[in-house]
Amino acid sequence: MADKVEPENEPVEPVSPFATPDVISDHDPSEEPVHHESLSLGGKLAWLTVAIVMTAMITLTAFSRSSEETRTEATASDLFPVQLQGRTLVGQKSFTGGGSSTATASTTDDEEKDTDRDDAKKKPSGAAIPEALNDGTYEQRLCYVLLVNENFGPDEATQKLIELDEAAADADFELSDDQTRLRNIVATLLESYQQNDFDPAAVSDEDRDFLKAKLGWIGELALVPEGTRNTETRKELLSDATWSMGLMMGFMALVLLTLMAGVAMAAVYSVLFATRRLTPKFQTRGSSLNIYIETFALWMVFFFVGPQLTALAIQFSGIELTGNADMLISIGFFFGSLIVLVYPVLRGISFKQVCSDIGWKGKGGFVDLLVSPLNYIAGTPLMLLGLFCVLLLTLVASLMTEPKPFGTGAAAGHPIQDIFAGGQWWNIIYVVVMACVAAPIVEETMFRGVLYRHLRELSGDWARWGSVIFSAVFNGLIFAAIHPQGFVAIPLLTALAISFSLAREWRDSLIAPMVMHAINNGTVTTFMLLMMM
């Protein structure tokens, strides 16, 4: 009996990631390439619907931000970034030894107060206040004046207040009643501090409460300058400032380390995929692409039009929402929008197949959980590129538009700033639930699940990675455009979405994108909450 001859192993030619589907596919290489259906009339109408809803959302956002630019009275949300920066600057001064002296354990309370008041007669010194803060709304500019008082004393702060008056006169800016009241309170405080009266009786309790309500933490600090008898309150506020500075420095260090690790992780992933030690698990089926874009279009209508119609119905019905009913309705709409996943089932796709198509898979979930933080870190270089584009767009926008004097401006922001600025515990819980739970589940299901499936099927006859790049970028642009942060934030949000899509392509599951989304939102939310503490 002849010995069985084993065929010699021939060297395998390296395969380019941009090879056509008959060279590389998700299936066995011997299989015929999958041929994909084309976009039907229903699919085209669905895309038209998506475009109309997107245009409406972008227009509404642009109109809202345009009206914000012309608003000349600041809200707590408008001053939120200024408050954070002010706390950091004052914290830097306190941390480096500026500010009121701290008594030793053997110093009596009376001796400590006398020491503080003697120190207050000396000219304070602290971190330079960025001139950029001396811009925007009248309230923000008053915050700048008070920060100058804290770091450089009432003489320089009074000069800045005079310059502010001159700037308002030159711009023919007419102060509102509240702004006039704020200006007079600040002027009274500075005049008293110049006379070494650090607890002026000329400012009533009502005015003190008004200053704190309008200017927040900076207003509170202005009422207890160096030399005040109210040393305990001042110590608490300076402790808040030191905490904010330490937290900011720690956060920046964490971002830098994460970015360095991200560059390394991205390089490792690139090598592993190039050498095919890691392979993407996503598979196209060649069908159902029209059903999924129709599903996504239904979701867009339900998610964005539904709440508007509900609000109008409540308004015309005369129903008054009490307590936090509006937040509960918002959460209900968010999760309830997933009801559109019934549509593909009604169109003849089994629910099991729908779950498989959109990435609702439990198999391999433990591995997905483990690699999710690594995936997020690997995406940080892409996010840095997106952030650079945001800064560039902001600069271009500022050069192309002439801002309204003493207007709020059009910096990228998010509505949650209003909620955080309010400070109520229920509002904070609402933000945490929406940002860290609802958004990762619902948005990843619809964007990286339903829409990404459609886009990959639509471009399935292309080279694989050409299809992946098209699907990830187009998906990311739609994802970014419908968010309320405005036009300038689109590059950063798109970069985030692309990293989520690449994780979806690799794992063929939504677990990794959902966890990555939660990590991102959770990090930002936690940072903002800690800065408020």
- Summarised one tens digit per residue, pLDDT across range 289-312 is 899 999 999 999 998 888 777 777
Question: Higher confidence at residue 136 or residue 64?
Answer: 136
Q: 517, 448 in Cβ contact below 8 A?
A: no
pLDDT at 503 over 90: yes
Q: 181, 210 in Cβ contact below 8 A?
A: yes
Per residue in 192-215, pLDDT tens?
999 999 887 889 999 999 999 999
pLDDT at 9 over 80: no
Question: Whole-prediction pTM value?
Answer: 0.83
343-348-352-354 Cα dihedral, nearest 10 degrees: -50
Phi, psi values for residue 198, rounded to 5°: -95, 5
Q: Summarize the confidence of residues 498-518 as an average pLDDT.
A: 96
Give just the sign of the alpha carbon dihedral 364, 369, 370, 371: positive
Give just the sign of the alpha carbon dihedral 429, 431, 432, 433: positive
How high does pLDDT run on average in the chain? 83
Tokens encoding 525: 């939310």
Q: Interior CA angle at 189 toward 184 and 195, to 5°? A: 130
Tokens encoding 57: 């959302």
Q: How many Cα neighbours within 13 Å face the side chain of 298? A: 18
DSSP state of 201: T
Alpha helix (H) residue ranges in 96-153:
109-120, 138-152
Cβ contacts of residue 275 below 8 Å, gap of 6+?
A: none
Q: 24, 15 in Cβ contact below 8 A?
A: yes
Please state, in angstroms and rounded to a whole number, the distance separating the CA atoms of residues 200 and 266.
Answer: 59
Q: Write down how long the chain is.
A: 533
Segment holding 385, helix H or strand E: helix 380-400
Q: What is the pLDDT of residue 441?
A: 97
Q: How confident is the model at residue 117 (pLDDT cuts 50, 70, 90)?
A: very low
Q: 278, 272 in Cβ contact below 8 A?
A: yes
What totals of helices (H) and strands (E) does the chain contain, helices first?
22, 0
Please state, in angstroms and rounded to a whole number, the distance separating the CA atoms of residues 436 and 245.
Answer: 25
Per residue in 414-427, pLDDT tens?
566 666 666 677 88
Q: What is the pLDDT of residue 24?
A: 35
| % of the chain surpassing 70 pLDDT | 82
Please state, in angstroms and rounded to a whole number, the distance separating the CA atoms of residues 494 and 513.
Answer: 14
Tokens encoding 389: 């584009």
Chain-centroid distance, C-alpha 321: 28
DSSP state of 287: S
Q: Summarize the confidence of residues 110-134 as an average pLDDT.
A: 59
Q: What is the pLDDT of residue 59?
A: 85
Average the pLDDT over each of 270-274, 408-412, 457-461, 516-520 and give the range with the smallest value. Answer: 408-412
Tokens encoding 249: 């420095």
Q: 434, 334 in Cβ contact below 8 A?
A: yes
Q: Summarize the confidence of residues 11-37 as an average pLDDT.
A: 44
DSSP readout, 156-197? HHHHHHHHHHHHHHHTTPPPPHHHHHHHHHHHHHHHHHHTT-
- Nearest to residue 137, comparing CAs of 369, 405, 494? 405
End-to-end CA distance of the chain: 84
- Nearest to residue 85, comparing CAs of 245, 237, 238, 256? 245
Please state, in angstroms and rounded to a whole number, the distance separating the CA atoms of residues 320 and 311.
Answer: 11
CB burial of 270-309 (b: ≥16 within 10 Å; e: otherwise) equals: eeebeeeeeebebebbeebbbbbbbbbbbbbbbbbeebee
pLDDT at 399 over 90: no
DSSP readout, 482-524? TSTT-GGGHHHHHHHHHHHHHHHHHHSSSHHHHHHHHHHHHHH
| % of the chain surpassing 90 pLDDT | 52
Phi, psi values for residue 172, rounded to 5°: 55, 40
Per residue in 77-107, pLDDT tens?
778 888 888 998 898 887 766 544 333 333 3
- Nearest to residue 457, comparing CAs of 18, 36, 20? 36
Tokens encoding 26: 């998700």
Per residue in 277-291, pLDDT tens?
999 999 998 888 899
Please state, in angstroms and rounded to a whole number, the distance separating the CA atoms of residues 449 and 338.
Answer: 12
Report domain extents, the chain: 41-70+279-532, 76-96+129-245
Per residue in 235-268, pLDDT tens?
999 998 998 889 999 999 999 999 999 999 999 9
Tokens encoding 401: 């538009």
